[in-house]
Amino acid sequence: MQTIGRELGRLLREQSPHPAVVIGGDTRPSTPTLTGWLLDGLRAFEIEIQYGGVLPTPAVALLTRQMGVGAGVAISASHNPAADNGIKFFDSRGRKWSRDLERQLEERIAASEPADLDANPVLPWSAILSRQYIDFLLGLLPSPAALAGMRIVFDGAHGAVTPLLDEICSRLQLDATLVHAAPDGAHINELCGSTHPEVAGEATRRHGAEIGLTFDGDGDRVLVLDAAGRTHDGDAILYLWARHLYESGELTPPCIVATSMSNLGLDHALAARGIQVEHCGVGDREVVESLRARNLTLGGEQSGHIVNLALTSTGDGLLTGLQVAAIVRASGRPLADLLVELKFFPQVLRNVRVREKPPLDSNSAIQQARREVEAALGREGRLVLRYSGTEPLARVMIEGPELALIERLAEQLTTTIRQQIGA
C-alpha cells in the first residue's frame, strides 16, 4: 500500500505543482493500517492530504470534487466480509478513475521497488470533512423540516455510514431507529445491511416505521423497506425516483439507464408512464459512462447503487435513501402504494464455474443453446449470458412471464455451458 501511495504521489506531482488528495475509509480492522501506509507513500512526494477518517465512499468522491483536489481515495471492500479490503480512486471531478489511469498506476507499481512499511502509521484526521458531506446531503432536501417526525429505520451494516447517522437523524428531527450501527470492525456487513435486507425489513415492521433504509459497508448502495418489511431493490428505487422526476418536469429527456440485469418489469412500468429505459453493461462505472454518453440524469443497478448526475458524480446510498424518504413523505402515501404499478417478471439466475473464459460466441454448441433459449422466449423475455468480472463463472440470467419455462431454459443452457467449458 505504501508503494501505491508513492506511485500515486509521483503521478499527481507530474500533473500539478501543488497536488492534494482526499482520503477516507470504512470500519474494517485493516483500514487504518492500510490508510497509514498509503499516507506514508504520498508524503514521500509532499502531497497535501485531507484525511476524513471513517467516510462513506461517495463522501470521498463528493469532497474530491468540492475541494478541487487531484484525486480521492477510498479504502474499502464495499459489501464484502470484514477480512477483505480494497481501494477505489476518484478523479478531480469525483468520478471513478478511467481504466487507462488505473492501468498506468498498475504499471508504475509493478515496476517499482517494494517499500518499507511503518508498523504504526500516523493518521491525522479532520472531522470537518464528514460535516461538509452531511451539510451537502441535507441541503438537497426541500427544506430542513422536510422529514421532521418521519419514522425511519436505518441499518448501517456496522459500516462507513454509521458515524454520520446520529447527526443526520438529529438535524432532520427524524423519529429514527438505528440498527447495526455500532462498528467494531469485525462485523461489517455480517448478517446485516444491504446484503441481508430481510433483517432491516423485520426491524422496520417491528418498529412501525414508514420506511427502512439498509446500506452496504462503504455506503454507496441502499435498499429500501416498506412498512410491512418487504425489500425493494434498485429497480424499485429507479422506478420511484424516475416517476417523481418526470412528474416534476426534471427528467429531460424522459429516459433512464439500467443495467442488463434489471427486471423487464421496470421497462414496462416506466413505459406506461412515458419513460424509456436504456440498458448498459453491469457495474456502476458502466452506468455512469452510459449516462454521460447519452446526456441522461438517472441510472443504477438492482444492488441499490443509484446515480443521479444532477446531484452527484457516483452512487450514494445516504443521498438516495434520503431522497426516497422525501418522495414518500411528499406523496402522503405509503411506499408500497407508490410501487403498486411495478410488476416484476420472474427471473432466474444461474452460475456455472468454468475452467477458462473463451469468447462465448466462439463456442458453436453454446451459441446454438443460446439461440434456442432466445427463440423460446421470443419478445416476452430475455437472456443475459456473460462471464463474471472477478470469478471463474459464467452467469446466466433469464427472464420471462412463466417461471417454469425460464427454469427449464436455464437448466438447458447451463448444462451445455458445463459440458463445454465447465471446471
User: What span, in angstroms and rounded, lies between the C-alpha atoms of 27 and 159?
Assistant: 6
- C-alpha distance from residue 38 to each of 63, 110, 160, 354, 383 (Å): 18, 16, 19, 36, 43
Which residues fall within 8 angstroms of residue 249, CB to CB, at 6 or more apart? none
User: What span, in angstroms and rounded, lies between the C-alpha atoms of 69 and 24?
Assistant: 14
User: What span, in angstroms and rounded, lies between the C-alpha atoms of 215 and 336?
Assistant: 20
Residues 89 and 111 sit within 8 Å (Cβ to Cβ) = no
Buried b (16+ CB within 10 A) or exposed e, 31-52: bbbbbbbbbbbbeebebebbbb
Q: Kind of pairing, strands 175-179 and 222-225?
A: unpaired
Q: Judge whether 170 counts as a catalytic residue.
A: no
Catalytic one of 16, 30, 76, 78: 78
Buried b (16+ CB within 10 A) or exposed e, 206-216: eeebbbbbbbb
User: What span, in angstroms and rounded, lies between the C-alpha atoms of 286 and 376?
Assistant: 29
The catalytic residue positions are: 78
